[in-house]
């Protein structure tokens, strides 16, 4: 498969991005190619750097979720949750059960929507525009529900310390129940299109392999880590919220290649649908937010302390390291973005592959540049 | 005087043919967008004209009005020449295609050879485009283009030769007429038909063989630096070629314009449309293969089986065995091809399973 | 429902602290606690050996570096490592203190490959130098960006200050010219939306298309 070394070839430096249909945002890969083979690749990031961490030090706590929504802009609910969790830990708040269940429902729905977007983009990189349409069709259905809940399709600003901002409208639960079988059907359609598609398997099997130990050393998380066979899912290994009461499987891959990363995500959609069904069945009544909490726009003051709160985002472990020295603004807010850590492994994954494989590897990592650059 | 009349008739024929080809291309573009849209659960073009039928025309006018850009470091003459070199062959092949028994510009006695030879001239144009654009992506795309076209030319020619052996002539109209007696050749050479379809897809750069011109990888390959009508020429060449190869498949394997009840031209168009719809279907459903996988497929799978097809046809013709024996042998070859592909699924390992 | 419940096999904080005290005794660390984790603070020059011990010691085996942050406490700089053990499922926060005038910390890239970009970012944002890092170039910032922008002495400007800083003064708005009376007035976005809603259109007021 490789050219023999009797040829004399010239290595060609090439720029993939920052404008490229397949780099999932503004990412620049400075590659050196020998024919079609990648000799060296160096990712250059920072095109979307908006200094969220620095800005947060000057914003009151109720304003920070606006910025956090725009980090991993594909799954906004999941970004707000660790921030709210960090504040709750410092304040010692207990979230009422309805609030917890609503958080779980909305975040798992967002995980499903995010994975459908991944499906669309991945298939599009492989060559089918059809997968783009199928993935986004399902995502649109979920986004209509989100609009019902928070008024926004994407940037919700809805999860607050103590629960969620307000209760869902009456038509939400019946609409969600009606939507679930449609989503199962949509998942089936998507699986029929690509999951056993021989061309896709040929393109992604044994491409971008990383072993479990290396993945841990690189700090990979989420489906990219689980595809290498490492059983790390924050919802099970460090359970938070009501996840211990819900019954779902952790999806593991075996080979750690791009196909497994794709396959794990598609199976996770099925698991998330199970979670949403169970959470809907168990959804209690009552308050959605801790009573007695100062309502916005009054000030929220946190006591002195620091904490590292983390949640399982669709892309991996989203961590918020919050240091508070009293007052209504954080002293330091560090965002541990999963795509940032996943992208670090990219040169290692692309070693020895071809240019066409590089596109598939990048697609299988499912990075969102908003949280890479913050 | 006779010379003038001949020249006038020829010019008229050429102008007419050009218009026909243009119309076919525009109709195909519209059809593809509609069919793809329906597969994607959306409508496709709807606004420009009833059901978007004038969309292609509007796009053509837009392309004509666009600014004609060229990179400053491009080789000027080659850059301007390349689109013409790509478009001209796809137009020239139509000269030899008989739409029906009487509707043909010029039924060449070596029509089949002419078709295959002229259609492979577009390779030169693509490589020239890629090289003269002074763009690394274009260069990669051009290299891939040349490799792919050369690789798939050989199985195509071998299959076409086998059909010519069956029909006993290289003349396209004659081949269709010999199918009138023997029956459509797809019945006698299913292996050849399948190889032809795959080689034709690769020749035309349609998915799943479109990696040289893939948008999400090399950003369009050799066509990257072209804008306006120059790009339009590449585009028209692609669709013209797609129609030409579909028409060739119909002529060689499906019996051309022959069929009961309906007028011949309608049969021809129906059959060609069916083949074209298969092309569109492949585009909608299949991701694209990587260039080395693509070429491995051509040299390691298609080529030996094309030789086998030729050999079987030769044996049947030599010993004057009945035609249904060729059909049986060809079907066996087809099954063998399927088996080889199945075994060659080196990447097909058991999917990972759920763990709790 | 508490926000964090300890998973099985997890050492309690006291047990972990005792174990750490035993293992790291030679480095004389300081112990404290955040809300949910044991915090170990060492001086910056010793953090590499400490981290290696934490990584290699089989009873601890902190093989996963979650996060590496720089913190500016004005009188000192700190690098905070959040560690996790996939085998034993316990967590730790390791802090390395370094004075502001000599902000050098040994790099832990040789222990955890995932420290690479975190250290680059901390270096450019806080002016830290990570000794032994193979490629300490800028990650997120552009050429000509302010040096160590996340330190506390670099302020965040208000919008007016920013404009003045960039040399863009806010312009006086010129009065809008009178539209000719004969031309029909285009509806503003708000009016268009009102008209659309009045006619019964809109995004969620229609039926969700079923397939």
Domain annotation covers residue A186: yes
Q: What is the pLDDT of residues A303-327, one digit of tens each?
A: 888 889 989 999 999 999 999 888 8
Predicted pLDDT of residue B265? 87
Domain annotation covers residue A100: yes
Whether B108 and B96 have beta carbons less than 8 Å apart is answered as yes
Minimal CA–CA distance to A52: which of A366, A344, A330? A330
Higher pLDDT, A350 or B1: A350
Domain annotation covers residue A365: yes
- Owner of token pair 């051509």: B298
Q: How many residues does chain C have?
A: 211
Q: What is the mean pLDDT of residues A201-207?
A: 84
Cβ distance A130 to B291 less than 8 Å, yes or no, reads no
Which residues are registered as beta bridge partners of A319? A310, A336
Q: SS3 of C174, please? A: coil
Longest CA–CA separation in chain B, Å? 90
Q: State the CB neighbour count (10 A cutoff) for residue B49.
A: 14
**DSSP state, B52?**
G
Q: Which residues contact A296 (CB under 8 A, 6 or more apart)?
A: A62, A160
Whether C63 and C55 have beta carbons less than 8 Å apart is answered as yes
Give percent of chain B with pLDDT exceeding 90. Answer: 22
Q: Which of A141, A230, A309 is the closest to C208 by Cβ?
A: A141
Give the range of the structural domain holding residue A360, as residue numbers without chain letter: 43-372
Task: Inform me whether the pLDDT recorded for C209 exceeds 60.
Answer: no
Q: What is the pLDDT of residues A169-178, one digit of tens each?
A: 888 999 999 9
Main-chain phi, psi angles of A50, to 5 degrees: -120, 10
Q: What is the mean pLDDT of residues B34-43?
A: 89
Cβ distance C3 to A89 less than 8 Å, yes or no, reads yes
Q: At B83, list the tokens.
A: 């689109």
Task: Inform me whether the pLDDT recorded for B351 exceeds 50.
Answer: no
Cβ distance A241 to C1 less than 8 Å, yes or no, reads yes
Cβ distance A201 to B356 less than 8 Å, yes or no, reads no
Whether A47 and A373 have beta carbons less than 8 Å apart is answered as yes
Residue to substitute from A141, A203, A356, interface B, most B β-carbons within 10 A: A356
**DSSP state, A354?**
B
Q: Which of A179, A220, A340 is the closest to C117 by Cβ?
A: A340
Distance CA(C55)–CA(B19), nearest Å, equals 75
Task: Inform me whether the pLDDT recorded for C203 exceeds 70.
Answer: no
Q: Render the burial of A91-103: b for 16+ CB within 10 Å, e for the rest.
A: bebebbbbbbbbb
Q: State the CB neighbour count (10 A cutoff) for residue A297.
A: 9
Q: What is the pLDDT of residues A113-156, one digit of tens each?
A: 999 999 999 988 888 888 889 999 999 999 999 999 988 888 88
Predicted pLDDT of residue C208? 43
Q: Which residues contact B71 (CB under 8 A, 6 or more apart)?
A: B79, B133, B134, B135, B225
Cβ distance C35 to A341 less than 8 Å, yes or no, reads no
Q: SS3 of A250, please? A: strand
Q: Which residues contact A330 (CB under 8 A, 6 or more apart)?
A: A56, A57, A61, A64, A302, A322, A323, A324
Distance CA(A90)–CA(C34), nearest Å, equals 9
Main-chain phi, psi angles of A136, to 5 degrees: -75, -25
Higher pLDDT, B19 or C168: B19
On whether any CB of chain A is under 8 Å from the CB of B59, the answer is no
Predicted pLDDT of residue C3? 34
Q: Which of B211, B215, B347 is the closest to A202 by Cβ?
A: B347
pLDDT band at C180 (very low <50, low <70, confident <90, very high): low
Q: SS3 of C129, please? A: strand
Q: Which of these ranges, A5-9, B178-182, B235-239, has the smallest mean pLDDT?
A: A5-9
Q: At A251, list the tokens.
A: 């999806």
Rounded to the nearest angstrom, the minimum Cα separation between C150 and chain A is 6
Q: What is the mean pLDDT of residues A7-31?
A: 76
Longest CA–CA separation in chain A, Å? 77
Distance CA(A194)–CA(B74), nearest Å, equals 40
Q: Where are the beta strands (DSSP E) in chain A?
A: 12-16, 28-34, 37-44, 159-160, 163-164, 304-313, 316-325, 332-336
Q: What is the pLDDT of residues A56-91, one digit of tens each?
A: 888 888 888 888 999 988 988 999 999 998 988 888
Main-chain phi, psi angles of B355, to 5 degrees: -130, 150
Domain annotation covers residue A196: yes
Chain A residues near residue B214 by CB distance under 8 angstroms:
127
Q: Where are the beta strands (DSSP E) in chain C?
A: 30-33, 38-43, 64-72, 76-84, 91-99, 104-106, 129-131
Domain annotation covers residue A112: yes
| Average predicted confidence (pLDDT) for chain A | 86
Minimal CA–CA distance to B172: which of B107, B237, B228, B236? B107
Q: What is the pLDDT of residues C72-88, one digit of tens each?
A: 888 888 899 999 888 88
Q: What is the pLDDT of residues B161-218, one digit of tens each?
A: 999 988 888 888 888 888 888 788 888 888 999 999 999 999 888 888 887 777 556 5
Q: What is the mean pLDDT of residues C184-190?
A: 69
Q: What is the pLDDT of residues A353-366, one digit of tens each?
A: 888 888 889 889 98
Give percent of chain A with pLDDT exceeding 90. Answer: 29
Give percent of chain C with pLDDT exceeding 70. Answer: 74
Whether C63 and A216 have beta carbons less than 8 Å apart is answered as yes
Residue to substitute from A29, A191, A192, A198, interface B, most B β-carbons within 10 A: A198
**DSSP state, A289?**
B
Whether A50 and A373 have beta carbons less than 8 Å apart is answered as yes
Chain A residues near residue C140 by CB distance under 8 angstroms:
45-46, 49, 373-374
Main-chain phi, psi angles of A339, to 5 degrees: -65, -30
Distance CA(B243)–CA(C54), nearest Å, equals 68
Give the torsion through C-alpha atoms of B328, B329, B332, B336, to 10 deg: -160
Q: What is the ipTM of this complex?
A: 0.86
Task: Inform me whether the pLDDT recorded for B220 exceeds 80.
Answer: no
pLDDT band at A195 (very low <50, low <70, confident <90, very high): confident
Predicted pLDDT of residue C176? 55
Task: Inform me whether the pLDDT recorded for C29 exceeds 80.
Answer: no
- Owner of token pair 């000030």: A299
Distance CA(C108)–CA(B23), nearest Å, equals 67
Predicted pLDDT of residue B216? 53
- Owner of token pair 């478009």: B87
Domain annotation covers residue A272: yes
Higher pLDDT, C200 or B180: B180
pLDDT band at B300 (very low <50, low <70, confident <90, very high): confident
Window B:213-242, CB contacts with A under 8 Å:
214-219
Q: Which of these ranges, A13-27, A231-245, C122-136, has the smallest mean pLDDT?
A: A13-27
pLDDT band at B2 (very low <50, low <70, confident <90, very high): confident
pLDDT band at B262 (very low <50, low <70, confident <90, very high): confident
Residue A198 burial (C-beta neighbours within 10 Å; 0-12, 13-18, 19+): middle
The CATH number linked to A130 is 1.10.645.10
Q: At B47, list the tokens.
A: 């606004």
Chain A residues near residue B284 by CB distance under 8 angstroms:
128-130
Q: Is the dihedral of CA A70, A76, A82, A83 positive or negative?
A: positive
Sheet holding A304-313, edge to edge: A304-313, A316-325, A332-336
Domain annotation covers residue A37: no
Cβ distance A310 to C140 less than 8 Å, yes or no, reads no
Helices and strands in chain B: count of H runs, count of E runs: 15, 0
pLDDT band at C207 (very low <50, low <70, confident <90, very high): very low
Q: State the CB neighbour count (10 A cutoff) for residue B231.
A: 17
Task: Inform me whether the pLDDT recorded for C124 exceeds 50.
Answer: yes
Predicted pLDDT of residue B154? 92
Higher pLDDT, A76 or C203: A76
On whether any CB of chain A is under 8 Å from the CB of B36, the answer is yes
Give percent of chain B with pLDDT exceeding 70. Answer: 94
Predicted pLDDT of residue A292? 67
Cβ distance B292 to A199 less than 8 Å, yes or no, reads no
On whether any CB of chain A is under 8 Å from the CB of C36, the answer is yes
Give the torsion through C-alpha atoms of A290, A72, C119, A361, to 10 deg: 140
**DSSP state, B105?**
S
Helices and strands in chain A: count of H runs, count of E runs: 15, 8
Q: Which of A336, A343, A344 is the closest to C66 by Cβ?
A: A336
Chain B residues near residue A32 by CB distance under 8 angstroms:
none
Number of domains making up chain A: 1
For residue A46, give the chain C residue with the closest CA: C140
Task: Inform me whether the pLDDT recorded for B70 exceeds 90.
Answer: no
On whether any CB of chain A is under 8 Å from the CB of C94, the answer is no
Domain annotation covers residue A16: no
Q: What is the mean pLDDT of residues A26-50?
A: 86
Distance CA(B271)–CA(A350), nearest Å, equals 46
Q: What is the pLDDT of residues C39-79, one digit of tens each?
A: 888 888 888 888 888 888 887 788 899 999 999 888 888 89
Chain A residues near residue B208 by CB distance under 8 angstroms:
127, 199
Q: What is the pTM of this model?
A: 0.86
| Average predicted confidence (pLDDT) for chain C | 76
Q: Render the burial of B171-187: b for 16+ CB within 10 Å, e for the rest.
A: bbbbbbbbbeeeebbbb
Residue C145 burial (C-beta neighbours within 10 Å; 0-12, 13-18, 19+): middle
Cβ distance C7 to A238 less than 8 Å, yes or no, reads yes
On whether any CB of chain A is under 8 Å from the CB of B301, the answer is no
């Amino acid at each position: 498969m490789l050219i023999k070394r009797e040829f004399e070839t010239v290595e060609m430096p090439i720029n993939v991005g920052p404008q490229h249909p397949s780099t999932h945002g503004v990412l620049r890969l400075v590659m050196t190619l020998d024919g079609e083979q990648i000799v060296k690749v160096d990712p250059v990031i920072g095109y979307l750097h908006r200094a969220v961490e620095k800005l947060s030090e000057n914003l009151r706590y109720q304003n920070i979720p606006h910025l956090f929504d725009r980090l991993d802009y594909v799954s906004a609910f999941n970004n707000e949750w660790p921030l709210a969790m960090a504040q709750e830990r410092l304040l010692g708040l207990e979230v009422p059960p309805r609030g917890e269940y609503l958080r779980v429902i909305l975040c798992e729905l967002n995980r499903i929507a995010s994975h459908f977007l991944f499906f669309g983009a991945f298939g599009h990189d492989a060559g089918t525009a059809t997968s783009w349409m199928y993935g986004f069709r399902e995502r649109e259905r979920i986004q209509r529900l989100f609009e019902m809940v928070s008024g926004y399709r994407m940037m919700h600003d809805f999860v607050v310390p103590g629960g969620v901002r307000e209760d869902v409208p009456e038509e939400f639960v019946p609409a969600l129940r009606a939507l679930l079988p449609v989503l199962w059907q949509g998942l089936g359609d998507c699986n029929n299109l690509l999951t056993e598609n021989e061309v896709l398997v040929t393109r992604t099997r044994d491409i971008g392999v990383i072993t479990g130990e290396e993945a841990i050393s690189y700090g990979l998380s989420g489906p990219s880590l689980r595809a290498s066979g490492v059983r790390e899912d924050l919802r099970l290994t460090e359970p938070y919220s009501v996840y211990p009461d819900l019954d779902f499987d952790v999806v593991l891959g075996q080979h750690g290649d791009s196909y497994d990363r794709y396959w794990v995500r598609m199976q996770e959609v099925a698991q998330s649908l199970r979670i949403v069904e169970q959470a809907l069945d168990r959804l209690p009544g009552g308050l959605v937010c801790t009573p007695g909490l100062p309502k916005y726009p009054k000030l929220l003051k946190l006591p002195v302390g620091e904490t590292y709160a983390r949640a399982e985002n669709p892309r991996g472990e989203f961590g918020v390291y919050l240091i508070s020295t009293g007052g209504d603004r954080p002293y330091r807010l560090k965002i541990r973005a999963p795509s940032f850590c996943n992208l670090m492994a990219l040169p290692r994954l692309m070693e020895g592959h071809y240019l066409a494989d590089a596109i598939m590897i990048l697609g299988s990592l499912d990075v969102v540049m908003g949280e890479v650059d913050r | 005087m006779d010379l003038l009349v001949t020249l006038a008739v020829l010019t008229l024929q050429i102008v007419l043919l050009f218009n026909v080809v243009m119309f076919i291309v525009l109709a195909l573009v519209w059809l593809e967008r509609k069919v793809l849209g329906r597969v994607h659960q959306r409508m496709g073009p709807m606004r420009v004209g009833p059901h978007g039928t004038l969309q292609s025309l509007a796009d053509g006018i837009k392309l004509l009005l666009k600014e004609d850009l060229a990179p400053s470091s491009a080789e000027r003459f080659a850059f301007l020449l390349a689109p013409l070199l790509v478009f001209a062959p796809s137009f020239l092949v139509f000269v030899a295609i008989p739409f029906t028994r009487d509707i043909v510009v010029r039924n060449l006695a070596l029509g089949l050879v002419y078709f295959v030879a002229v259609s492979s001239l577009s390779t030169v144009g693509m490589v020239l485009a890629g090289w003269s654009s002074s763009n690394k992506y274009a260069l990669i795309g051009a290299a891939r283009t040349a490799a792919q076209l050369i690789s798939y030319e050989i199985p195509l020619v071998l299959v076409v030769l086998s059909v010519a052996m069956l029909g006993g002539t290289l003349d396209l109209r004659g081949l269709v007429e010999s199918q009138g007696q023997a029956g459509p050749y797809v019945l006698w050479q299913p292996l050849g038909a399948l190889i032809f379809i795959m080689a034709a897809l690769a020749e035309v750069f349609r998915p799943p063989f479109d990696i040289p011109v893939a948008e999400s990888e090399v950003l369009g390959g050799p066509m990257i630096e072209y804008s306006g009508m120059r790009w339009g020429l590449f585009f028209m060449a692609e669709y013209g070629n797609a129609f030409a190869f579909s028409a060739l498949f119909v002529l060689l394997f499906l019996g051309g314009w022959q069929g009961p009840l309906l007028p011949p031209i309608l049969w021809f168009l129906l059959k060609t449309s069916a083949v074209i719809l298969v092309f569109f279907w492949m585009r909608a459903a299949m991701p694209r293969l990587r260039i080395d996988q693509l070429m491995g497929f051509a040299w390691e799978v298609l080529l030996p089986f094309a030789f086998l097809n030729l050999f079987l046809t030769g044996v049947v013709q030599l010993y004057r065995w009945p035609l249904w024996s060729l059909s049986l042998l060809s079907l066996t070859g087809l099954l063998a091809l399927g088996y080889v592909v199945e075994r060659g699924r080196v990447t097909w390992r058991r999917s990972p399973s759920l763990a709790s | 429902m508490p926000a964090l419940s300890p998973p099985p096999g997890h050492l309690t904080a006291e047990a972990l602290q005792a174990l750490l005290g035993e293992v790291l005794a030679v480095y004389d660390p300081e112990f404290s606690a955040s809300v949910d984790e044991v915090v170990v603070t060492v001086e910056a020059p010793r953090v590499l050996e400490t981290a290696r011990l934490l990584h290699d010691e089989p009873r601890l085996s902190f093989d996963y570096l979650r996060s590496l942050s720089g913190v500016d406490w004005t009188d000192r700089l700190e690098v905070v490592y959040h560690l996790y053990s996939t085998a034993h499922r316990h967590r730790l926060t390791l802090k390395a203190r370094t004075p502001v005038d000599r902000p050098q910390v040994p790099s832990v890239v040789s222990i955890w490959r995932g420290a690479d970009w975190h250290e680059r970012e901390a270096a450019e944002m806080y002016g830290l130098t990570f000794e032994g890092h193979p490629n300490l170039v800028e990650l997120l910032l552009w050429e000509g960006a302010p040096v160590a922008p996340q330190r506390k002495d670099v302020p965040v400007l208000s919008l007016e200050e920013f404009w003045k800083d960039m040399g863009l003064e806010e312009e006086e708005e010129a009065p809008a010219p009178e539209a000719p009376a004969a031309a029909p007035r285009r509806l503003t976005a708000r009016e268009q939306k009102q008209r659309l809603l009045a006619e019964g259109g809109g995004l969620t007021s229609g039926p969700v298309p079923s397939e």
